[in-house]
Amino acid sequence: MLRKYFPAISASARREERIFYLFILPWLFGLVVFSIGPVFGMLGLSFTDWRISLDNLQFVGLENYTKLFADPIFWTSVGNTLYIVVGRVVFGTSFALLLAILLNQKVPGIPFFRAVYYLPTVTAGVAVALVWIWIFNPRLGILNYSLKQIGIQGPNWIFSKTWVKPSLILMSLFSVGPNMIILLAGLQGVPKELYESAEIDGAGHWAKFKNVTLPMLSPVLFFVIIISVVSSFQNFTEIRVMTEGGPGESSNVLIWYLWENAFIFLQLGVAAAVAWIMFVILMALTGIQFRVGRRWVYYEGEA
Amino acid sequence: MAPRKRKQDVSWRKSIKGRHAIGIIITFALLIPLGIAFILPFIVMVSTALKPLNQVFAFPPRLIPETVQWENFADGWYGYGYVNFTTCTWNSLKITVNNIIGNLVSCTLAAYAFARLKARGKNFFFAIVLATMLLPNEALVVPQYILFNKLGWLDTHLPLMVPPWFGWAFFIFLLRQFFLTIPEELIDAAKIDGAGHARILLQIFIPLSKPALATLAIFAFIGNWNNFFGPLLYLRTPDVQTLPVCLVQYQGAYGNTEWHLMMAVATIAVIPVLLVFIFGQRYFVEGIATSGVKG
Amino acid sequence: MSTEKLSRRAFLKLAAASGSGVALAGLGPLSSIASAQDQVELTFGRHWEAAFRPRQAEYDEGFMERHPDIKINITYNTWADHNNVVPAWAAAGTLPDIIYVHGSRATPWAHEGIIIDIHDIVTADEEFNVDGMWEESVRLYRVDGRIHALPYDHGPIILGYNKDMFDAAGMDYPSEDWTMEDMAAAAVELTDPDAGVWGWDGRLDLGNGGGGFFTGAWGGVHMNEDETEMTMDTPEVRAALNHWYKLIHEDKVGASFTEAESFPNSQPFRAGVAAMGHIATWSTPSMRALANFEWDVAPTPMGADGSRYTGAFGSGYGITPTSDKPDTAWTYLREYLSLDGMIFMWSLSGRGSPARPEGLEVWLNSDPAPPNGHYFLEAMFDYAVTGPPFQSLAAAQVSNVLSTQAELLRLGESSVDEAIAAITEQGQAALDAVADDM
């Protein structure tokens, strides 16, 4: 049985294995000390009636989970989450890639533009609420003002049941900075020789992009997509600051639902259950991506 | 280094003459209008920092303040004597620098192992790296707080400064992806020269991964500099508090928020990040092609 | 605003003389003078924005002078953060000795053992005049008939108005005999879409305190006395909500939700573009800081039958079970929440809403108080009732349902019938879910 996972290996392979474990030792140590306890604690607590105090906890079995599955708002928030995740990943990744390509061009002023496109990521935090009023407020915002100039009556954005989710996706485009930088670093890493030899073969822009850029960038792009899915699931700054799940429940996403249960309703056991459901959904999605990724991600280092 | 840089600087002039002129026009046609939208949050912040409080929400809104109140910066920084931004900034700086170094060291080691070393159990542990990214932090807040209390670390910088030395899944995964793009032949050549893994990592991977490492450093800088919830929870005494937590002290219930002072200090707080970004940029643009190693 | 008032600086001087120095000495030192070695550290978890902390520090310095054996150590967080941090503190057993308790948190926190039963300590202290506090304010913290925390601040919701806008329209200010219909008629008159000004600020608040203002005049009540049943599916509540719904969506005299969101703390009234809005005393310091116009207050308008009703709410302080020195904590609170303590902290400073009538009287002369601030006092005496929900473990869930539906009504995304149906169904479900735990 163990043989299957730990087949006999040569002495040099064993040496390499020792180095592997030596190198991951700090991470492994941190995992055991800082993460294992809290993570399994959360798992255990999701089967209790934990509200705040850890004294006199009652084991309630799957009650927190069945309660969730019976709550229509939970299902609404699952739907909202998937809507926003798909939107953020598709548009966010494409937009980040577009910006990375633009910022990788040899045109004057590029360092300035790179800083500009990264600015919203830096100025987030406290400024965020004020900033969004300036941009998205249907009455005062620059967005609707601009639309008015070209004769379009802008929607109510985050104050409309219909538009709140697209608004949140649009807002997320302002924080593509990190993904843009990762992709830019990836683009910078593509050896110039590959482009040169492609040019010799007479390849045009598109052919170069498709045959050189994309394959060489694919490990990084793969990372960006995985991370985008995860962060779209977990990001709730805008939700907390701007919509608090509203109007109605139309922007109530799982992370807000979790937060609300934990820190507003003081239902920490229920919140723990939500966390585990989110974890399982993300596990499944990430697993699928790794499976699919094998088909399109090209690793230079892997023979 | 120097001649290559000059070459880079003039290359756009050459290409303007060529058939890329249209490409440059398209690039600018996209970069400029989008750039205006992206610079707006910063301008709103600075503009608010310069206004008197009763004009912050004046209607109709004005981007350029009617009266410029420069003293907001000094007033904000010195607060009411009960929020010490000098101490907060120093604490933030100390934690941030420590955490960048900690993350760089621990994540580089683990990422190299996951990218390039063969070992039984590797896939299992890599799956765990990924899995730790998938649990929502908000759910772990309370158990982690209990843990740090048990360790006796509360109200010290330890809960913020120790874990970064033990890796972070996001960065390990990020670096692993970059390390996977480095050509295998380079390693083989080094091995033939008798280099061990430590040398391969130091002499090949790290120089070749400058953009990725710079990316990691920038992310770690911003993440730690702006970290709010950790310090909020773990620190209590004003003397150990960090900048983001100090910043919200201008926020009051029932609309008693002093937006102008908060934005003034927020503007000051952004400056180090901007400087790091602007000066760190050259590392993003120094890819394999310019670092002197041929693939 | 008004010439009869002293400047803030003058009040600070007065405060230094009366508040910390003389008046508090009357309480008599409970503890004997001790050397620095056996100083007891008293820890606090509270919220004040930076601007108000010098006042707190001044108070604490005075306190420590009177009690050299006690050292005060405060952890400040913002209001919202405090409410997030306390549960974590409680779970790990790291609560400070005394914590700030918002009225809506008292029942759940008492139930979870975050604050202890201080009923006996309070009632046994003959010098501490708990009966001198508004009964409506103490009620918030009485869980199963026993006091678990004490209020420092409690305020009724009454009508605020922009004098400049009434003057410009040549209209009389809201009077004592106004009904809700009079208010609506004035709002119609004062609205001028071209000038971007509204008669009413459009905020429909069904939660703690606000609920009484917006439905009480029609005889509408949100919940039964025990807070076990939602009672909003009634003709009275329906009539009340229809009234406000019509003002927003048909008469268009209230700032729409999206418009309101453009203003500080979502208050067009404070921004000077709405002639009227509901207001509590705790909002007056920010009115003073932000309002570029003359303003005043009037009683909450009456119902058609001449009855008057409004909501009130507030905050307090409690002692935690983690504290190994509840007596020392009480030494602090009994002075801090005494009349003199309140006068120093909230009346003379103009911060507002002291939970004692005599304290509110003194506040009337502070700088931020409006000329007719006495209407707050009258509301507390005559017609304000602490607004539900606050006695149920599901209070937070019910509040959430109420604010969600109020928002949908303002947005026009729900009709009055839909909102009432949703509140009744979801609110009742939340109440039923905790029925067994209570």
Closest CA–CA distance from residue A236 to any residue of chain C (Å):
15
> At C179, which CATH number?
3.40.190.10
Nearest to A247 among C262, C394, C413 (CB): C413
Q: Are C395 and C370 in contact (CB under 8 A)?
A: no
| Cβ neighbours of A76 (radius 10 Å) | 17
Residues C115 and C195 reside in one and the same domain: no
Is C113 touching B (CB cutoff 8 A)? no
Inter-chain contact A123–B170, Cβ cutoff 8 Å?
no
Note the pLDDT tens digit of each residue in C151-188: 999 999 999 999 999 999 999 999 999 999 999 999 99
Q: Provide mean pLDDT across the span A183-193.
A: 83
Closest CA–CA distance from residue A247 to any residue of chain C (Å):
6
Single-letter code of the amino acid located at A9: I
Q: Is residue C336 packed enough to be buried (19+ CB in 10 Å), middle (13-18) or exposed (0-12)?
A: buried
Q: Is residue C426 packed enough to be buried (19+ CB in 10 Å), middle (13-18) or exposed (0-12)?
A: buried
Closest CA–CA distance from residue B94 to any residue of chain A (Å):
19
A61: left (phi over 0), alpha (psi -120 to 50) or beta: left
Of C270 and C33, the structure prediction assigns the larger pLDDT to: C270
| Cβ neighbours of A164 (radius 10 Å) | 25
Q: Provide mean pLDDT across the span C13-25.
A: 40
Of C3 and C14, the structure prediction assigns the larger pLDDT to: C14
B146 → chain C, closest CA residue? C92
CA–CA dist C438, C429 (Å, integer): 15
- C30 domain residue, yes or no: yes
- A26 domain residue, yes or no: no
**Residue C251, token pair as written in the block:** 């008469």
- A230 domain residue, yes or no: yes
Instruction: Say yes or no to pLDDT of B150 above 80.
Output: yes
pLDDT (0 to 100) of residue B10: 46
The mean-pLDDT minimum among A86-100, C65-79, C191-205, C247-261 falls in C247-261
Is B258 touching C (CB cutoff 8 A)? yes
Inter-chain contact A38–B140, Cβ cutoff 8 Å?
yes
Q: Which one of B5, B31, B46, B114 makes the best mutation probe of the A interface by having the most chain A beta carbons within 10 Å?
A: B31
Q: Are C297 and C375 in contact (CB under 8 A)?
A: yes
**Residue A271, token pair as written in the block:** 């919140």
Residues C35 and C117 reside in one and the same domain: yes
pLDDT (0 to 100) of residue C64: 95
Q: What percentage of residues in chain C have a pLDDT greater than 70?
A: 90
> At A258, which CATH number?
1.10.3720.10
Number of structural domains (chain C) is 2
Going from N- to C-terminal start, the domains of chain B cover: 2-78, 85-290
Note the pLDDT tens digit of each residue in B99-140: 999 999 999 999 999 999 999 999 999 999 999 989 888 888
- A264 domain residue, yes or no: yes
- Grade residue C30 by pLDDT with cuts at 50, 70 and 90: very low
pLDDT (0 to 100) of residue C261: 75
Residues C182 and C301 reside in one and the same domain: yes
CA–CA dist A299, C272 (Å, integer): 62
Q: Are C309 and C217 in contact (CB under 8 A)?
A: yes
- In sequence order, the 6+-apart residues with CB closer than 8 A to the CB of C66 are C24, C25, C29, C335
Instruction: Say yes or no to pLDDT of B4 above 50.
Output: no
Q: Are C242 and C259 in contact (CB under 8 A)?
A: no
Rg (CA), chain A: 24
Nearest to A266 among C87, C404, C413 (CB): C87
| Cβ neighbours of A2 (radius 10 Å) | 6
- C1 domain residue, yes or no: no
pLDDT (0 to 100) of residue C192: 92
Closest CA–CA distance from residue B145 to any residue of chain A (Å):
9
Is C93 touching B (CB cutoff 8 A)? yes
Phi, psi of A47 (to 5 degrees): -105, 15
Number of structural domains (chain A) is 1
**Residue A133, token pair as written in the block:** 């009023």
Q: Are C317 and C324 in contact (CB under 8 A)?
A: no
Inter-chain contact A262–C87, Cβ cutoff 8 Å?
yes
- C3 domain residue, yes or no: no
How does DSSP assign A18-30, residue by residue? HHHHHHHHHHHHH
In this prediction the ipTM stands at 0.87
Reported CATH class of domain B85-290: mainly alpha
Is A24 touching B (CB cutoff 8 A)? yes
Closest CA–CA distance from residue C44 to any residue of chain B (Å):
10
pLDDT (0 to 100) of residue C31: 42
Is A100 touching B (CB cutoff 8 A)? no
Instruction: Say yes or no to pLDDT of C62 above 90.
Output: yes
**Residue A287, token pair as written in the block:** 């697993």
pLDDT (0 to 100) of residue B284: 63
Q: Provide mean pLDDT across the span B221-238.
A: 90
Residues C379 and C405 reside in one and the same domain: no
Residues C169 and C302 reside in one and the same domain: yes
- Grade residue A10 by pLDDT with cuts at 50, 70 and 90: confident
Q: Provide mean pLDDT across the span B178-191.
A: 85
Instruction: Say yes or no to pLDDT of B12 above 60.
Output: no
Inter-chain contact B289–A116, Cβ cutoff 8 Å?
no
Cis peptide before C389 (omega within 30 of 0): yes
CA–CA dist C435, B121 (Å, integer): 51
pLDDT (0 to 100) of residue A124: 64
Cβ contacts of C244-251, under 8 Å, gap ≥ 24: C244/C204, C244/C214, C244/C409, C245/C409, C245/C415, C245/C416, C247/C184, C247/C187, C247/C200, C247/C202, C248/C202, C248/C204, C248/C409, C248/C410, C248/C412, C249/C412, C251/C184, C251/C187, C251/C188, C251/C191
The strand pairing partners of C316, in sequence order, are C101, C151
Q: Which of C162, C188, C156 is nearest to C174 (CA)?
A: C162
Q: Which helix (H) or strand (E) holds A196?
A: helix A192-200
CA–CA dist A222, A286 (Å, integer): 11
Of B23 and A124, the structure prediction assigns the larger pLDDT to: B23
First to last CA, chain C: 49
Q: Are B265 and B272 in contact (CB under 8 A)?
A: no
- A68 domain residue, yes or no: yes
Instruction: Say yes or no to pLDDT of C98 above 90.
Output: yes
Note the pLDDT tens digit of each residue in A231-274: 999 887 778 878 888 888 999 999 999 999 998 888 899 999 99
CA–CA dist C109, C310 (Å, integer): 26
Note the pLDDT tens digit of each residue in C352-395: 889 999 999 999 998 889 999 999 999 999 999 999 999 999 99
Instruction: Say yes or no to pLDDT of C339 above 60.
Output: yes
Residues C288 and C268 reside in one and the same domain: yes
- A151 domain residue, yes or no: yes
Nearest to A230 among B61, B134, B266 (CB): B134
Instruction: Say yes or no to pLDDT of C19 above 60.
Output: no
How far from the centroid of its chain's Cα atoms is residue C422's Cα?
Answer: 27
Instruction: Say yes or no to pLDDT of C250 above 80.
Output: yes
Q: Which domain holds residue C206?
A: 156-312+388-434
- Grade residue B279 by pLDDT with cuts at 50, 70 and 90: confident
CA–CA dist C221, C50 (Å, integer): 38
Residues C199 and C170 reside in one and the same domain: yes
Instruction: Say yes or no to pLDDT of A200 above 80.
Output: yes
Of A125 and B226, the structure prediction assigns the larger pLDDT to: B226
pLDDT (0 to 100) of residue B18: 54
Of A191 and B97, the structure prediction assigns the larger pLDDT to: B97
- Altogether, the residues listed in chain B come to a count of 295
Q: Which domain holds residue A240?
A: 64-296
How far from the centroid of its chain's Cα atoms is residue A142's Cα?
Answer: 27
Q: Are C257 and A159 in contact (CB under 8 A)?
A: yes
Inter-chain contact A246–C404, Cβ cutoff 8 Å?
yes
